[in-house]
């Protein structure tokens, strides 16, 4: 048996293709930690992607980092010691990834890390801590791109490193033909418009920063749709910035996976701090401005598809970055879209697991 473990919105999405591919090797036991539980962040994705419910739901929910990780660690240990799977597959860099991987490694179960080898300069960012620890204790490291592969071969010579490409691309390609029209997602929406999301703790937990970025979005030249993650909703409410309309900005609740892709595809540009949306914009051919000082997805920046803009930048600078991304790519041939593979990552992860001793 293979245990496939996940718990946040992007992981539910990526697990959908992994679950199908891994099933060709035998029984797959799906464990959802429950780190995300709101409908739009969890159950809706199961429905949209046609995924069976998990075999086990750990109901970890929200808490401080220590408490959330500890709950996942303890509950995953209980489940994994009962199941004794052949391997434990974890994805990405969340507290769910860390908690499950740590429980598995302590039980001496081989850990497979999907999306291994990414790095940011900020060593103490929550996701950076998680991914470094998980890379260090995994037996099989499946990387999304060349730079991650090189890094893992240099840092973890004892692990098996396989460049699988990015499973997020597999999922996107599987739904590309059935994306809804943007105006059916946000009634009254007309092109050109911008699509924005903001959710990272580095932004939402610093009120002055969040206020400045939202203020900047409200004065952009184009109407901007901001799909609001629940944590951002709470932070905006505390700032008194949760009105549905603010200048050019319109706030809508967090949207489903298909709706998010549809809005990103139809947009003149995307403004985000999400790693997932940065790649999705790149695959969909929509220029992106990332509201961070750095990105783990540096290839998108090198290609020009993505432009970094630190959140402390002035509103005029953010507006300038958005304008320059739109002008730069208008009517131009799209960039090379294959730096994170071509949509066969889940198959490659599966073959690599099949080859494990
Ligand atoms: C988590 C991941 C982040 C990932 C993101 C994807 C960690 C440390 N962070 O961030 O890497 O990019 O998921 O979306 O694991 N909340 C709800 N409903 C929910 C879930 C959360 O309202 O269903 C609220 C709660 O107030 C909670 C806060 O959001 O305290 C933060 O949730 P949490 O799971 O800790 O982190 P995310 O910001 O979602």
Stretch 317-324: mean pLDDT: 94
Q: Are residues 160 and 231 in the same domain?
A: no
Stretch 85-114: mean pLDDT: 98
Q: What is the pLDDT of residue 233?
A: 94
Q: Are residues 207 and 65 in the same domain?
A: no
- pTM value surpassing 0.85: yes
CATH of residue 126's domain is 3.40.50.2000
Q: Indicate if the pLDDT at residue 333 is higher than 80.
A: no
- Verify cis geometry, omega within 30 degrees of 0, for the bond prior to 192: yes
Q: Indicate if the pLDDT at residue 314 is higher than 90.
A: no
Residue 172 lies in a domain: no
Ligand 1 centroid, distance to 185 Cα (angstroms) = 23
Q: Are residues 278 and 347 in the same domain?
A: no
| CA atoms of 294 and 308, how far apart (whole Å) | 7
Residue 336 lies in a domain: no
Ligand 1 pocket residue status of 315, Cβ below 6 Å = no
Stretch 329-345: mean pLDDT: 92
Residue 261 lies in a domain: yes
Digit-coded pLDDT (tens) for 157-191: 999 999 999 999 999 999 999 999 999 999 999 99
Instruction: Give me the number of domains the chain comprises.
Output: 2
Q: Are residues 205 and 143 in the same domain?
A: no
Residue 151 lies in a domain: yes
Q: Are residues 152 and 250 in the same domain?
A: no
Q: Are residues 223 and 302 in the same domain?
A: yes
Q: Are residues 190 and 287 in the same domain?
A: yes
Q: Residue 290's domain spans which residues?
A: 177-329
Residue 266 lies in a domain: yes
Residue 335 lies in a domain: no
Torsion angle defined by CA atoms of residues 49, 53, 55 and 60, in that order, rounded to the nearest 10 degrees: 100
Q: What is the pLDDT of residue 212?
A: 92
Q: Which residue has the tokens 């709101």?
A: 38
Residue 28 lies in a domain: yes
Ligand 1 pocket residue status of 36, Cβ below 6 Å = yes
Q: What is the pLDDT of residue 143?
A: 98
Digit-coded pLDDT (tens) for 111-122: 999 999 999 999
Q: Supply the mean pLDDT for the chain.
A: 96
Q: What is the pLDDT of residue 93?
A: 98
Ligand 1 centroid, distance to 231 Cα (angstroms) = 7
Q: Are residues 206 and 294 in the same domain?
A: yes
Q: Are residues 162 and 222 in the same domain?
A: no
Residue 334 lies in a domain: no
Digit-coded pLDDT (tens) for 1-45: 999 999 999 999 999 999 999 999 999 999 999 999 999 899 999
Q: What is the pLDDT of residue 27?
A: 98
| CA atoms of 47 and 81, how far apart (whole Å) | 30
Ligand 1 pocket residue status of 37, Cβ below 6 Å = yes
Given pLDDT bands bounded at 50, 70 and 90, which one contains residue 317?
A: very high
Residues 6+ apart with CB under 8 A from 298: 147
Phi and psi torsions of 260, nearest 5°: -65, -45
Q: Are residues 241 and 161 in the same domain?
A: no
Given pLDDT bands bounded at 50, 70 and 90, which one contains residue 192?
A: very high
Q: Are residues 307 and 349 in the same domain?
A: no
Residues 6+ apart with CB under 8 A from 331: none
Ligand 1 centroid, distance to 154 Cα (angstroms) = 32
Q: Indicate if the pLDDT at residue 323 is higher than 80.
A: yes
Q: Indicate if the pLDDT at residue 129 is higher than 80.
A: yes
Q: What is the pLDDT of residue 312?
A: 87
Ligand 1 centroid, distance to 210 Cα (angstroms) = 16
Q: What is the pLDDT of residue 117?
A: 98
Please tell me the residue having the least CA distance from ligand 1 atom 24.
Answer: 231
Atom of ligand 1 nearest to the CA of 231: 29
Q: What is the pLDDT of residue 331?
A: 74
Q: Are residues 225 and 115 in the same domain?
A: no
Q: What is the pLDDT of residue 319?
A: 92
């Amino acid at each position: 048996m293979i245990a496939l473990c996940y718990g946040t919105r992007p992981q539910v999405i990526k697990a959908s293709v992994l679950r199908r591919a891994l099933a060709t090797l035998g029984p797959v036991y799906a464990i959802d930690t429950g780190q995300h539980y709101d409908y739009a962040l969890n159950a809706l994705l199961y429905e949209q992607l046609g995924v069976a419910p998990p075999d086990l739901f750990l109901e970890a929910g929200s808490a401080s980092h220590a408490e959330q990780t500890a709950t996942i660690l303890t509950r995953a240990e209980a489940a994994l010691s009962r199941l004794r799977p052949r391997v434990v597959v974890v994805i990405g860099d969340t507290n769910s990834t860390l908690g499950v991987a740590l429980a598995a490694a302590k039980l001496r179960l081989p850990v497979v890390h999907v999306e291994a080898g990414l790095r940011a300069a900020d060593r103490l960012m929550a996701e950076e801590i998680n991914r470094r620890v998980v890379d260090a204790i995994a037996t099989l490291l499946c990387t999304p791109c060349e730079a991650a592969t090189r890094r893992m071969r240099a840092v973890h010579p004892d692990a098996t490193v396989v460049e699988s490409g990015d499973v997020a691309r597999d999922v996107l390609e599987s739904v590309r033909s059935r994306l809804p029209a943007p105006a059916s997602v946000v009634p009254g929406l007309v092109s050109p418009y911008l699509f924005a999301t903001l959710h990272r703790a580095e932004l939402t937990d610093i009120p002055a920063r969040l206020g400045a970025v939202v203020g900047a979005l409200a004065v952009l030249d184009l109407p901007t749709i901001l799909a609001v993650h629940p944590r951002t909703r709470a932070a905006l409410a505390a700032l008194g910035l949760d009105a549905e309309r603010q200048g050019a900005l319109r706030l809508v609740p967090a949207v489903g996976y298909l709706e998010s892709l549809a809005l990103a595809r139809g947009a003149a540009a995307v403004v985000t701090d999400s790693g997932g949306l940065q790649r999705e914009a790149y695959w969909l051919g929509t220029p992106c401005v990332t509201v961070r000082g750095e990105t783990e997805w540096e290839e998108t920046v090198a290609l020009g598809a993505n432009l970094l803009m630190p959140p402390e930048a002035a509103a005029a600078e953010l507006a300038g970055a958005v304008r320059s991304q739109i002008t730069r790519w208008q009517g131009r041939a799209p960039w090379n879209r294959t730096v994170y593979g071509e949509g066969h990552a889940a198959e490659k992860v599966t073959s690599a697991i099949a080859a494990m001793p």
